[in-house]
Structure 1
Amino acid sequence: MPPYFQRESVKSFADVTITEAGVDTVEFLKAAEGVVGIFGILNTPLLSPVSNDLGGNILKIRRRHDQTPEKSDTLENLVRNEMAEKRKEATQGLLWLIRGLSFTCKAIQQTQADPAKQLSTAFNESYADTLKPYHSFIVRPIFSAAMSGCPKREVLYDGLRKKEEHDEGEDATQEELDTVLNDWLEALAKIIARIDAFYEANNYKKGL
């Protein structure tokens, strides 16, 4: 497994527990934090609006979980119980987090499918399909500028393959990375589809 996904602070979406009750909240949040870390690998200030948005929504969900852990074991239970209390901070946070994760997932899926595609192109195309329809005319230019600030794709892939400084051994090969990254993307896409369908079925998006 590539070093990035081996780090204790990172959890793969492929390892997030999903039962009939829903998606495990704590495991999902840890995996989502790994996405923030990916933007850290890209290491450009222009992308800070993206990572800040992800991090802020993770915080909203974690706050709700910590306040009512017995009602928030899964994402579905967390939302269901918060909405029953006529509150919506975490529910709104999860909706926007899922949109942000979808944006990231689809962009990286594109770069995986096309080895010649640069990050700026992939993220721009993904932004148009995922986040842009929900952003105001004030926010859109900020995120468009962020997309133009994407470094070359090698920065991302080299960063994901690279071992940590204190680790022994070699960096992961591209083949090793592809195997684990594709599993990560597939699992993330399934969670996104599941939560989106849950919101749609229960009309939770209304007013958010």
Structure 2
Amino acid sequence: MEGEIYRWHGYLSGWGKKYFVLHNGTLSCFASKVERMNRKPATEVYNLGLCEIIVDHVTPTQFELKGTIGGKVCSLKTDTKDERQQWIKSLGSAKACLLDTSTLGFLPKPSEDSRLLTSQVSREVEEDTSLVASFESVAIEPNEKMEQSGNGSLNNLLLSSDNPSIVDEPEQTNILHLCDVTKTEIANLEEAITLLSTNEIGKILLKVETSCRALLAAVEEKKLTLAEDEQEAQDTQLAQDTQLAQENQLAQDSHIDNFSTFFSSQPTNFRHVVDGTISREGKPLLPALIFLEACQCYLRFFDRFSGTVMTPLRNDIEGNIGKIRKVMKDSGKGYDYLQEIVDHEISRKQHTGPDTATQALLWLNRALSVMCRFLKNVVTSDSATKHDTGASFISAYNELLAKHHNWMVQKLFKVGLKMVPSYEAFQQSMIDQQCWKEGEATGEVGWLDVLDDKMAHHVMQYIEPMGVVVEQLRYMYTTHNIDP
């Protein structure tokens, strides 16, 4: 099975459409169908034998693959509920074929005749009767029928797999040899049953169980080897990625030591909020005063960039900051964390009024989420609205905030957003004027591109912790059954 599925890349990047191919117990992810058709290598490959399939019971189109080693989660989403059901069914079937070896899938359900026959054998054979008894519930079918059916999980895993990630040398030779031995013993047992040779049946039963045990042990050992290899590969890749990121960071920092923008010059930003976050009973708690101060510093963005065009949005953010400060002051409880304020109001059913901290923080966080998405849209290279400030704002608004406004407010917002200053004005207002003059004075071709790259780096550094804070607040409201 193959087709397009949306994959979650985090709050900043959101959902991205990828092309997935399910084959022989592995799910391969390609950037697009074109890359798949051009035989480009997959960007990600998931071994379903080492994944847990988790169905989202709240959102009818979402599901997850969770690694049994390391706990890494891949969140996926289809266009429709029926499409998700089809993928879940196919993934589950593929996973079952990989993991269901304990029952030797090529052995069918017991028949009454085989139970009677095996019971008779167990009474007459004097050798290790416990071994014979373990096969009392296993029916024996002609070997030709087993080969024709070909739908047992063990057959699928070991006898017909062409996926080298499942079985490879030297384990492959050993497992295939054990398969042949087991099939031979079962064929001998079939012949003995046909001849009603009770003395031979008991002896062959012992051989069949011995070969089955050896086969299952080899399969389990191979599964452990695969798990260890995958973990080692993940650790190696993580180390390489970490080293590369550090080298890139050092290279970038060496070029921007004296470069300043609005995003790098704020005395309090959302990185300070993240650094001040603590965990209590498994839940993150955001420091209230640092958060409000970071939001207050953020208001300067509007002063530098949009002037009066976005005054309503600026006033709304400032007003909600003031409401939260007032609640903290009037309560006299000395709240240290935002979640404490909201929990207190909700527990007393005092959270629905327009002047409550719960509602003020809710709308403040919605505004921050829009601004975070706008900044990402306008500077990242893979954005469809890169360097288009108006389109970037409208895209962010439509995605995150429009659904919370009535149609009249939506119209007013969109009209105002069309008058947002250009990207060139954005550059000049965000980059420190001294840095701008020095860059211009070099007279070098592409000096503005150099400054723009540095500014984009500052933007991403600023919105990364901002996005973390927004997501944690969204999660808090979700746990209280409030649409974030």
In the alignment, is residue 185 of structure 1 matched against residue 463 of structure 2?
yes
Alignment partners' CA distance in 2, 1:177 and 1:117: 12
* Residues 41 and 155 in structure 1, CA contact (< 8 A), matched pair in contact too: no
Could you tell me which residue of structure 2 aligns to residue 97 of structure 1? 364
Q: Which residue of 2 aligns with 1:79?
A: 342
More strand by share: 2
Task: Determine the C-alpha separation between the residues in 2 that align with 1:191 and 1:197.
Answer: 10
Q: How does 1:130-149 map to 2 (within 5 A)?
A: 130-149=400-419
Counterpart among 148, 155, 161 of residue 431 in structure 2: 161
- Tell me the equivalent position of 1:18: 277
Q: Could you say if the C-alpha distance between residues 87 and 111 of structure 1 is closer, same or farther in structure 2, counting changes exceeding 3 Å?
A: same
Task: Give the match's secondary structure for 1:117.
Answer: coil
- Give the distance between the partners of 1:69 and 1:157, measured in 2 at CA: 44
**Cα distance change, pair 202–151 in 1 and its aligned pair in 2 (3 A):** same
The range that moved more, 171-180 or 138-147, is 171-180
Change (3 A) 1:105 1:116: closer
* Residue number among 152, 176, 179 corresponding to 2:422 in the alignment: 152
Cα-to-partner distance string for 1:25-71 (whole Å, 9 max, x where unaligned): 11111111233211111233221111111111111111112223645
Matched, 1:34 2:297: yes
Shifted more, 37-46 versus 118-127: the winner is: 37-46
Counterparts of 1:24-63 in structure 2 under 5 Å? 24-63=287-326
Distance in 1 (alpha carbons) for counterparts of 2:466 and 2:392: 17
2:390 counterpart of 1:112: no
Find the counterpart in structure 1 of residue 63 from structure 2.
Answer: none
For residue 15 of structure 1, report the CA deviation from its aligned partner: 1.6
The aligned counterpart of 1:64 is 327
Q: Secondary structure at the match of 1:44?
A: coil
Task: Using CA pairs under 8 Å that are at least 6 residues apart, name the structure with larger relative contact order, 1 or 2.
Answer: 1
**2:473 is aligned with 1:195:** yes
Q: Take 1:129 and 1:79, find their aligned partners in 2: how far apart are those partners?
A: 25
With over 3 angstroms needed to count, the CA separation of the structure-2 counterparts of 1:70 and 1:176, relative to structure 1, is: farther
Amino acid at match of 1:15: H
Q: Return the offset for 1:170.
A: 6.1
- Give how far 1:82 is off: 2.0
Q: Are positions 1:4 and 2:262 aligned together?
A: yes
Q: C-alpha distance in 2, partners of 1:74/1:162?
A: 34
How many Å apart are 1:174 and its aligned residue?
3.9
User: Which blocks of at least 5 consecutive residues in structure 1 are unaligned?
Assistant: none
- 8 Å Cα contact 1:50-1:143 kept in structure 2: no
Structure 2, unaligned runs of 5 or more = 1-258, 440-449
CA-CA distance at 1:118 after TM superposition: 1.2
Give 1 or 2 for the bigger CA radius of gyration. Answer: 2
Task: Work out the CA distance in 2 between the residues paired with 1:2 and 1:69.
Answer: 40
> Identity of aligned pairs, percent?
22
Provide the alpha-carbon RMSD of the alignment: 2.6
Change (3 A) 1:157 1:65: farther
From the two aligned structures, give the one with the greater helix fraction.
Answer: 1
**SS state of the match for residue 20, structure 1?**
strand
Q: Distance in 2 between matches of 1:157 and 1:82?
A: 42
Give the aligned partner of residue 125 of structure 1.
395
Paired residues of 1:118 and 1:153 also in contact (CA < 8 A): yes
